[in-house]
């Protein structure tokens, strides 16, 4: 299957939006930008599902498991590297603060944190005070989802639509409870971010939605012009609806508008497969690195500010600074190395 450069471009754009969640613009601009950016991580989940089983010949459980196993092994290797980088960074920062190795180990790894990690892909297993944000939950949630697809491959296409509907219903019902009637399952407030933003209520439905979309568009020839205009309408309606939801409900993990934006992007991608002469390459070569390591850049920036190496907070400039550094380190430089290798 020829690579879709438009989706590579959207990967790059989605990474920049993720940065605006973790390095937020001030005021109302920051709130609305963050709200729109909530499409980005679910987009990555759906992208994983879109191409996971895109081969029309993948029918039997054995064939599905073979394909998923390859994807899972690649994901496990990438996760191990990313996790190790942040683990070493966390240790160095805590030792520099005067925390002993034993104290640091006890802070990150204990029974309570293990429960949070196993249930919700969160807790100090994947973040702590040295880098604040638990963005690695995405990797572990995707590992869970791939594992479930592998286990339930014999009944995947029998039940995947039902499971998608049920998990989406759980997500948005939970967000409704957050707004109108907060509860405390597991003695954790439902307003806590990871109670809904985890492998079950975000990872699973969006990966399965990607598989459903793949089966729909690859199952038989579709009118690409019709898909394109449907996609434009979905994306525009999704953007408008997201602004309305932000205004009414404030910041949520995923909006109904987010789902429409994501679907719109994928419908459009069936018609438009180009992403410009340069920008799509940043998505292909750099989106993973930008997503994985921008939090590290933010952490180093904040340390520099706290030590007066950076004299001003630069609230408006900070997101752009993090974007620029991340693009250079994880986009332009890898793209240059790839170009050099291709000419060797």
**Is the model's pLDDT at 340 over the cut of 90?**
no
Nearest to 111 by CA among 100, 124, 99, 101: 124
User: pTM value?
Assistant: 0.96
**Tens digits of residue pLDDT in 27-77:** 999 999 999 999 999 999 999 999 999 876 677 899 999 999 999 999 999
Domain ranges for the chain, please list them.
1-37+278-339, 52-220, 230-275
pLDDT range class, residue 336, cuts 50, 70, 90 = confident
Question: Measured between alpha carbons, how far is 38 from 27 in angstroms, rounded to an integer?
Answer: 17
């Amino acid at each position: 299957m020829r690579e879709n450069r438009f989706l590579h471009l959207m990967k790059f754009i989605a990474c920049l939006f993720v940065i605006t969640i973790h390095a937020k613009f001030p005021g109302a601009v920051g709130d609305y930008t963050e709200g729109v950016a909530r499409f980005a991580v679910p987009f990555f989940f759906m992208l994983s599902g879109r191409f996971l089983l895109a081969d029309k010949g993948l029918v039997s459980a054995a064939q599905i498991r073979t394909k998923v196993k390859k994807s899972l092994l690649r994901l496990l290797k990438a996760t191990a590297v990313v996790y190790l980088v942040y683990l070493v960074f966390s240790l160095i920062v805590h030792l520099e603060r005067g925390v002993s190795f034993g104290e640091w180990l006890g802070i990150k790894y204990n029974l309570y944190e293990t429960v949070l990690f196993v249930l919700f892909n969160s807790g100090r297993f994947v973040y702590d005070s040295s880098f604040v944000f638990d963005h690695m939950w995405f990797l572990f949630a995707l590992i869970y989802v791939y594992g479930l697809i592998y286990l339930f491959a014999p009944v995947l296409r029998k039940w995947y639509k039902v499971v998608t509907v049920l998990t989406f219903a759980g997500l948005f019902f939970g967000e409704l409870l957050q707004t109108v009637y907060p509860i405390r399952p597991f003695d954790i407030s439902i307003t806590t971010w990871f109670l809904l933003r985890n492998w079950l209520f975000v990872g699973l439905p969006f990966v399965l939605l990607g598989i459903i979309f793949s089966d729909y568009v690859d199952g038989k020839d579709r009118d690409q012009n019709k898909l394109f205009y449907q996609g434009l309408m979905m994306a525009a309606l999704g953007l408008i609806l997201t602004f309305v939801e932000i205004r009414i409900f404030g910041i949520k993990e995923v909006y109904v508008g987010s789902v429409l934006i994501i679907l719109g992007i994928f419908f459009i991608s069936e018609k438009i497969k180009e992403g410009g002469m340069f920008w799509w390459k940043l998505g292909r070569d750099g989106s993973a690195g930008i997503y994985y390591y921008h939090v590290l850049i933010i952490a180093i920036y904040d340390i520099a500010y706290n030590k007066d190496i950076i004299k001003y907070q630069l609230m408006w400039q900070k997101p752009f600074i993090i974007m620029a550094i991340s693009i250079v380190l994880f986009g332009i430089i890898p793209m240059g190395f790839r170009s050099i290798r291709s000419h060797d």
